[in-house]
Amino acid sequence: MGLVVKWFFKDNPVPLYQWVAGHVPMVHPGPFSERLDVEYEASEDADHKHSGLRILNPTVDMSGDYKCQASTFDLELEIPRKLVVYSKPSNVEIWTQEVGDDSVRVYCKVRDIYPEPEVTFHMMSEDESDRSKLEGVDVVKTWDDNLYHAMVEVLVKEEELDGPTHFECEVTIPHTQVLVTNKTHYEPRAKVGAGKDDMVSGSEDHSAMAVVVSLAFLAIWRF
């Protein structure tokens, strides 16, 4: 059969791992030389026993594209695989700041995450039955100590809000199931002008009613 299995990392033409059926696996010198488990058995079948790759204590620098090359005397196959070693964010913070008389700016800060995250904003009704994605978001990402950080913000007109609103910051890592969210509650401000008009109208109505009642009482007294 002559089965030979080789594992490659990214574009390196030198395999990091090689196994010839019936022999002990070999690890080539390099950053993986102390991190691969040569005793790992992917199957009890002798023809597949050491075909798998097991990395001990993987770190973020080992993320990337891998390729398994299996060959025999008659056939050769290549199978790509992607490995994502990720770090969840240490903190996702969201808050709002009123801008002028008619707008609110929503902020979200994400700390210590890897690899580069995707951050989106959503707006939802108080009972969360109506949820929509916010557009026009500004994102600034930085890199420090092998981790990403992000500051995200968006400006929303209060006229677009239908009463009390939840703003949600959603953080995801591509090619993983990582999903971290945080949200904040916002109460739209009342229109000051409309409030005054309502108060004046109410006072006038109250005064007119008092006059009518007084006149009616006077008429009864005179009778």
Q: Is residue 123 part of a domain?
A: yes
Q: Residue 112: give the domain boundaries.
A: 91-186
| Residues 96 and 73 placed together within one structural domain of the fold | no
Q: Which contiguous run of DSSP H or E holds residue 65?
A: strand 64-71
| Residues 57 and 115 placed together within one structural domain of the fold | no
| Residues 97 and 167 placed together within one structural domain of the fold | yes
The 3-state DSSP class for residue 54 equals coil
Q: Is residue 161 part of a domain?
A: yes
| Residues 179 and 96 placed together within one structural domain of the fold | yes
**Strands of 4-9's sheet, edge to edge?**
26-27, 17-20, 4-9, 64-71, 76-83
- 108, two tokens: 């979200």
Burial letters for 99-120: b for 16+ Cβ neighbours within 10 Å, e otherwise?
Answer: eeeeebebbbbbeebbbebebb
| Verdict on whether the full-model pTM lies above 0.95 | no
131 within 8 A of 124, measured Cβ to Cβ: yes
**Among 95-109, 112-126, 159-173, 195-209, whose mean pLDDT is lowest?**
195-209
Q: Is residue 214 part of a domain?
A: no
Q: Tokens 């990402």 appear where?
A: 141
Q: What share of the chain is helix, strand, coil (3-state, %, to 5)?
A: 15, 45, 40
At residue 215, what are phi and psi to the nearest 5 degrees?
A: -65, -40
Q: Find the CATH number of the domain harbouring 38.
A: 2.60.40.10
| Residues 57 and 104 placed together within one structural domain of the fold | no
Residue range 33-46: average pLDDT? 88
- 56, two tokens: 């001990």
| Residues 73 and 95 placed together within one structural domain of the fold | no
Q: Is residue 191 part of a domain?
A: no
| Residues 120 and 76 placed together within one structural domain of the fold | no
Residue range 116-120: average pLDDT? 95
Q: How many domains does the chain have?
A: 2
Q: Is residue 216 part of a domain?
A: no
Q: Is residue 202 part of a domain?
A: no
Identify the domain boundary among 65, 83, 101: 83
| Residues 73 and 29 placed together within one structural domain of the fold | yes
Q: What is the pLDDT of residues 182-223, one digit of tens each?
A: 999 999 986 544 444 443 334 334 333 333 333 333 333 333
Q: Strands 17-20 and 76-83, how do they pair?
A: unpaired
Residue range 151-157: average pLDDT? 96
Identify the domain boundary among 83, 104, 136: 83
**pLDDT band at 48, cuts 50/70/90?**
confident
Q: CA-CA distance, 124 to 168, in Å (whole number)?
A: 8
| Residues 130 and 176 placed together within one structural domain of the fold | yes
Which has the closest alpha carbon to 123: 171, 185, 81, 178?
185
| Residues 68 and 140 placed together within one structural domain of the fold | no
**Among 166-170, 175-179, 195-199, whose mean pLDDT is lowest?**
195-199
| Residues 176 and 120 placed together within one structural domain of the fold | yes
Identify the domain boundary among 30, 54, 83: 83
